[in-house]
Amino acid sequence: MGKIYPAISPEISTWINRQHMFFVATAPLGAEHHINLSPKGMNTFRILDEKTVCYFDYTGSGAETIAHIRQNKRITIMFCAFDGPPKIVRLHGTGEVLKHDHKDWEGLAALFKIPEPPRAIIKANITRVSDSCGFGVPLMDFKSDRDSFTNWAAGKTTEDLANYRRTKNAKSIDGLPAWDEP
């Protein structure tokens, strides 16, 4: 039976920090628009306190999460146990998109020690923490993080990445405003 918690407990925090992957779900307000669900990994998630988390948002093929957060701030982050006892944890809350010029950027970026430059940091204020059994989640062994993004980004300059975001990340797949880079 699942439980609801008032905050991220030390036990849940320890469990989350052992997971290699998480999923981010967001949705626009319009029923005609698409819900987004994105897998994330590469050691990009941090728990800041019992009600605040963040993750590095790398430049990608789309910017759905950013567009949806800009529109309505709703976000759900889900972790699944792919090894050990079955478990799923969901963090529901409101998100904020932090760009390089945000006052908290340097302090948060220092928590990651990851060489590739992220597009943004997504910070979420958690309003609901829940867990469930996870009996349907398969057991899988973690082999390693992929190096595809690292290799792709290594061949790009800061301006190359900015140009990519301007052309490929300006709008969501539904035409909502997403990334606005000068």
Write the CA distances from 170 to 71, 94, 123, 152, 181, integer angstroms: 14, 21, 20, 20, 8
The first and second tokens of residue 142, run together, are 């973690």
What pLDDT shows up at residue 182? Answer: 62
In this predicted model, what pLDDT tens digit does every residue of 116-133 receive, in sequence order? 778 999 999 999 999 999
| Residue 82 burial (10 A CB sphere; 0-12, 13-18, 19+) | middle
CATH number of 3-137+145-168: 2.30.110.10
Query: pLDDT confidence of 167, banded at 50, 70, 90?
Result: very high
CB under 8 Å to 79, separation ≥6 — which residues? 15, 16, 19, 21, 22, 23, 88, 89, 90
What pLDDT shows up at residue 50? Answer: 98
- Output 154 or 92, whichever has higher pLDDT: 92
* 3-class DSSP assignment, residue 30: coil
Query: pLDDT confidence of 86, banded at 50, 70, 90?
Result: very high
Could you tell me which residues are beta bridge partners of residue 38? 24
pLDDT at 1 over 70: no
CA 64, 68, 69, 75 dihedral sign is: negative
What pLDDT shows up at residue 114? Answer: 76
Contact between 122 and 55 under an 8 Å Cβ cutoff? The reply is: yes
Averaged pLDDT, 41-62: 95
pTM over 0.85: yes
